[in-house]
Structure 1
Amino acid sequence: MKTTKNKSITSQQLKALHATFHRIGMDDDARHGCIYEFTSGRTASSRELTMHEARQLLERLNPPDEKTRAMQLAEAKSVFRDIYRLSFMIPQLNQGFTSDSEDEYRMNVAKLNMWARKYSKARKDVTAMKLWELQDTKKQLEAWMRREEKKQKNETI
């Protein structure tokens, strides 16, 4: 399983960060101070940020407007519904269970959250993920589902 926690900042992220700092009017000293505070004193250089740190810093420096936020929320809800639906197709998650009542729904989401904390790239509850983390998790579940289907086909042959 790949993780971006410790990978170095990408050249695209570096360009985006510098453009953002320039747009908001930060000089070199202010930029270095911002990075130093953001990394809790680990570094003052943008080149020493990890991909994860760069993504978080860009999100904080470029907050979405209300219209964009509403669109992202709607997209996140849609991706969450897709993830929830996929969980019922995978034997180790919710396959064979129902979602007929609020209690069953919450139990199924709790199982999905437990799985996500242990196995997803984001390593946190699905219900706490940002849109891009939900999209990554959905891709991960789709790949898992394809492996399960392939395994079932091989068992029947």
Structure 2
Amino acid sequence: MATTINPYLTFEGKCEEAFNFYKSVFGGDFAFVGRFKDMPPQEGMPPMPAGSDDLLMHISLPIGGGSVLMGSDTCQGFGPPVTVGNNITISISADSKESADRLFKGLSAEGTVAMPMGDTFWGSYFGMFTDKFGINWMVGFDKNSPS
């Protein structure tokens, strides 16, 4: 089983500033930059708070050796408030949908699921949870990635 684990950082409105700083240190180019205004409406999700359109929904910066530094801003209703210590999530990129399901089920046992595994508008099969030890996780499988 080939999986990768990458750090995912969460900010309150400073994600773009932070990632421009990280880019100045690591070099390279952003692989993806998506803003909350780019997100289509989702059934059952609250409307985006005023002033959040230009905040980062997701950004990724390859930093070498197959590692990717990822991050986002948080908005009310779209994740817990940022508290230093809970603003780092471990992101797992699985090599298959079955592997993603197995990892999600195993790691989330006795934890709190924030987003069950499911298809997303960005083309991934994805879910989020906090494990029974209080660690935040994201598990995904990029369905558009060559096998």
TM-score by length of 1: 0.27
- The higher relative CO (CA closer than 8 Å, separation ≥ 6) is in 2
If the length of structure 2 is used for normalisation, what is the TM-score?
Answer: 0.28
- Report the structure, 1 or 2, having the larger strand content: 2
